[in-house]
């Protein structure tokens, strides 16, 4: 378990400033006030987490920030001497939180469209400097590049979690057949082909913070090249403030292909199976419902 001095030492090492005060938020998360008044968030790797997860997260944050669209907290890393503990610590600026407004939600939608439009080299492409073996939450996620979205989505985003769910007993073999039947129809269900988008990759409401001016900030990414509708489907899955305005802003900047609403459950199968692996049977039922809805299209 992390000790306060460990987190403060990591903050000082990464920022070059003395740690003046520390507040523990959880076993893995602390806030440290530096001697110049700035506050940083210190995350320590989960003891039972995915190796390299924090390195992947840091690379993802930098990749999203490089797009200069949606705001992203700065990742602190003084020099190559920090590389020895890149898998153990992540130090970022803290976002002083406020509340979303209808206007800021619409702006977020436009900025998210701009982020997606900056693109990626391939579906499944990891962020520059990021490992192929990454994570989504506490689940492993492999970033294996591909050029055909339906095939890539089936092989590298859905089937690995189907197998883990069956092995873990939260999905039966017969139920896995239902999901695989949906995957067989992916070429006809996926809609018009789109180029790889630069995705946040784990865009549920908890990973969108609203600053004191109402502007959106992105945290905790599982960033990779993917289909832009996947990020939007994740926002739908757990809701978001002023979601309709977010979508209006997005459509204003980059209209979605016809039928996108019908494809939302298709893109939700992946995160629902991840949750099945992590949290059990309740999410398996939702994943199966999403798959069955696609089979009736």
In contact, 107 and 245? CB cutoff 8 Å: no
Q: Identify the weakest region by mean pLDDT among 86-95, 228-237, 254-263.
A: 86-95
* pLDDT above 80 for 276: yes
Mean pLDDT computed over every residue of the chain: 93
pLDDT given for residue 229 in this prediction: 98
Element holding 136 (H helix, E strand): strand 133-136
In contact, 74 and 92? CB cutoff 8 Å: yes
Tokens of 214: 């109402």
In contact, 294 and 287? CB cutoff 8 Å: no
Pairing outcome for strands 39-44 and 29-34? antiparallel
Confidence of residue 83 (pLDDT cuts 50, 70, 90): low
* pLDDT above 50 for 119: yes
Element holding 262 (H helix, E strand): helix 260-279
- Catalytic pick among 87, 202, 220, 231: 202
202 noted as active-site residue? yes
* Mean pLDDT confidence for 224-252: 97
In contact, 131 and 272? CB cutoff 8 Å: no
155 DSSP assignment: I
pLDDT given for residue 4 in this prediction: 47
Q: How far apart are CA 182 and CA 265, in angstroms?
A: 11
Long-range Cβ pairs for the range 252-261 (8 Å, 24+): 252/106, 252/109, 252/110, 253/109, 253/110, 253/113, 253/114, 254/113, 254/114, 254/116, 254/117, 254/228, 256/228, 256/229, 256/232, 257/191, 257/192, 257/194, 258/191, 259/191, 260/191, 260/229, 260/232
pTM of the model: 0.94
* pLDDT above 50 for 1: no
* Mean pLDDT confidence for 169-194: 96
Summarize pLDDT for 177-186 with one digit per residue, the tens. Answer: 999 999 999 9
SS3 label, residue 76: coil
* Mean pLDDT confidence for 204-221: 96
Q: Which has more pLDDT, 297 or 44?
A: 44
């Amino acid at each position: 378990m992390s000790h306060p001095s460990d987190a403060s030492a990591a903050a000082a090492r990464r920022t070059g400033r003395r740690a003046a005060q520390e507040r523990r938020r959880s076993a893995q998360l602390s806030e440290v006030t530096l001697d110049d008044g700035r506050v940083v968030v210190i995350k320590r790797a989960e003891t039972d987490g995915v190796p390299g997860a924090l390195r992947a997260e840091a690379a993802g944050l930098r990749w999203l920030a490089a797009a200069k669209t949606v705001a992203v907290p700065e990742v602190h890393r003084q020099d190559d001497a920090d590389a020895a503990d890149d898998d153990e610590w992540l130090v970022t600026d803290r976002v002083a939180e406020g509340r979303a407004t209808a206007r800021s939600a619409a702006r977020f939608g436009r900025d998210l469209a701009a982020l997606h439009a900056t693109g990626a080299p391939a579906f499944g492409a990891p962020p520059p400097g990021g490992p192929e073996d990454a994570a989504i939450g506490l689940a492993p996620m492999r970033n294996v590049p591909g050029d055909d979205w339906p095939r890539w989505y089936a092989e590298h985003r859905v089937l690995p979690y189907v197998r883990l769910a069956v092995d873990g007993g939260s999905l039966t073999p017969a139920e896995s057949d239902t999901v695989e039947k949906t995957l067989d129809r992916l070429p006809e269900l996926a809609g018009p082909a789109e180029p790889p988008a630069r995705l946040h990759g784990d865009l549920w409401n908890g990973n969108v913070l609203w600053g004191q001016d109402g502007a959106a900030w992105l945290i905790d990414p599982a960033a990779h090249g993917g289909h832009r509708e996947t990020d939007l489907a994740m926002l739908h899955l757990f809701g978001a403030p002023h979601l309709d305005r977010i979508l209006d802003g997005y459509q204003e900047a980059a209209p979605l292909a016809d039928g996108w609403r019908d494809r939302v459950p298709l893109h939700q199968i992946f995160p629902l199976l991840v949750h099945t692996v992590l949290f059990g049977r309740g999410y398996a039922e939702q994943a199966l419902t999403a798959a069955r809805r696609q089979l009736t299209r």
